[in-house]
Amino acid sequence: MVFFGDLPSPASIFSTYASLAGTVMMIKPMIHTIIPQPVHNFVVSYIKSLVGSRSSTLTLVIMDMNKTERNGMSRQNELYYAAQAYLSSKISPDASKLKMTRDPNNKNVNLYPSEGEVISDVYKGIELKWRYLAGSKKTSTVMDGGVDDETVNWECFELSFDKKHKDLVVKSYVPYVEKKAEVIKNKRRIIKMHSYSTYSLRWESVNFEHPSTFDTMAMTHKLKRSVMEDLDRFIKRKDYYKKVGKAWKRGYLLYGPPGTGKSSLVAAMANHLKFDIYDLQLASVKGDASLRNLLLATKNSSILLVEDIDCSVDLPTRLQPATPTYGPYGASEGSTPLTLSGLLNCIDGLWSSCGDERIVIFTTNNKEKLDPALLRPGRMDMHIYLGHCSFEGFKTLASNYLGLSQDNDDTHRLYPDIKRLIDGEVLTPAQVAEELMKNEDADVALEGLVKVLKRKRSESEKCDDESKKMKILEEGEEDNLTSRRPEQSRVE
């Protein structure tokens, strides 16, 4: 039972509130006067920290400043871009605002979280929340007696979760995000072709859109499988290379006559691995120091290509000391030209360890002309010979250009004749492709190819007959000289 008569009257309540408010108003200025402001701020922040420490949520901030240093080097937080790629695959259908970009090759549209958007994730039963934030701030830098003001744009991801899972998130979830992001980025990656500009003295790049793949290469299935397995094994052995104490790189020597597909194989390897290509023209490199700087400027997961290594430049060996270069007035410029030793040190010495997941490819038409130092084990790990077109390679080309099946040896009525005529060193894949491109009608194109094969085979056999005759004549002359020698000695 409630007795309302025991409660204070409204007038007394109002009077008490007014008296208390007046007291607070009088004491507040006295507190600010007696207690210094720094002490006051410290007490307030300490109280806030005590209150905040009761929260069980931990938030990790992954920043990206998007700032370019004055020396041209860009600062990037790789973890930020890994999170960005990973979250692009976690976009919820209920998202209200997203960022949209298109790849430069205009093939894919990518969606990313917009400012303030929250994305939920679950990892091993742990609930995590991602939030994207962006903004800008002004900074001042004192340089040469003046002040340089600039605006720095910043972006960040906030990752929030229960504090008790901190170790699991940092040691397990973050590496998981990085691995998933690498897979996503590889699928979206645009391969670049880099070439060294003697004008700007740096690598310049264009999109690499060469269509060559292992499926379109006119190679035997055995050789294709061998190369692909070697590449796949290489990119999976980072820990193995570290364990045995070797730089994570691999060298390939592609050799064979012109037109046998060496450049196409390089393109197929780049497309298979999603690796950029750095086309190194040794003739444009001034010296060993310049070569080191060039290689240090290349990125990981890339192919360093040196085509026609046997004739691109005359490299002095250790037995042929390099001659210093001189200026226009006869004074030494103090630079040494590019040497074979300098090239070997960059691809196989201590400098080769400045980077990961690198592939070095040399191509040549004449393997015999190469310095043995280039071919020793550990430098060119795999030697790949690309010779004249075989029947197996022809079937691949016929499938590419004419749409014929390459599963059977008797796909077309002319296949048996082609199989008999193409055996041996008759035509290169480039020559076969040239004939197949002359007509889209399979019958006409293959009949033209058969005529060329017969003519080449006839010329080859004719040359063989002439060489045999010359050999017989030479052997006959030697026999005559041998039989005459005793008579000449008796006459003398």
**Residues written for the chain:** 492
pTM, two decimals, is 0.67
Burial string for 68-78 (b: 16+ CB within 10 Å, else e) reads: eeeeeeeeebe
Mean pLDDT, rounded, for 329-357: 67
Helices (H) and strands (E) in the chain, counts: 15, 13
Q: What's the confidence (pLDDT) of residue 66?
A: 53
The CB-side HSE value for 318 (13 A sphere, CA atoms) comes to 7
Of 130, 156, 133, 151, nearest in space to 141 by CA = 151
Give the type of residue at 72: G
- Does residue 458 have a pLDDT over 50? yes
Q: What's the confidence (pLDDT) of residue 275?
A: 93
pLDDT-wise least confident of 95-99, 230-234, 371-375: 95-99
% helix, strand, coil for the chain, step of 5: 45, 20, 35
For 37-108, strand residue ranges (E) read: 57-64, 98-102
Mean pLDDT, rounded, for 239-243: 89
Identify the bridge partners of residue 142 per DSSP, sorted by sequence position: 147
Mean pLDDT, rounded, for 152-158: 85
CA distance 8 to 4: 9
Q: What's the confidence (pLDDT) of residue 483?
A: 56
Q: What's the confidence (pLDDT) of residue 114?
A: 75
- Does residue 76 have a pLDDT over 80? no
CA distance 219 to 388: 10
Residue 248 Cα distances to 24, 183, 299, 352, angstroms: 72, 20, 13, 9
Could you read off the pLDDT of 4-36 as tens digits, one per residue? 455 566 666 667 766 766 666 666 666 666 666
Q: What's the confidence (pLDDT) of residue 173?
A: 95
Could you read off the pLDDT of 245-269 as tens digits, one per residue? 888 899 999 999 999 999 999 999 9
Within 10 angstroms of residue 208's Cβ, the number of other Cβ atoms is: 16
Two tokens at 222?
């055995």
Burial string for 237-272 (b: 16+ CB within 10 Å, else e) reads: beeebeeeeebbbbbbbbbbeebbbbebbbbbbbbb
Q: What's the confidence (pLDDT) of residue 327?
A: 44
Give the type of residue at 415: Y
146-162 and 57-64 beta bridge pairing? antiparallel
Could you read off the pLDDT of 82-102 as tens digits, one per residue? 888 898 888 877 777 777 777
Could you tell me if 134 and 63 are in contact, meaning their C-beta atoms sit under 8 angstroms apart? Answer: no
Q: List, in sequence order, the alpha helices (H) in 254-361.
A: 262-273, 288-296, 340-348
Residue 210 Cα distances to 199, 231, 265, 271, 386, angstroms: 26, 19, 11, 8, 19
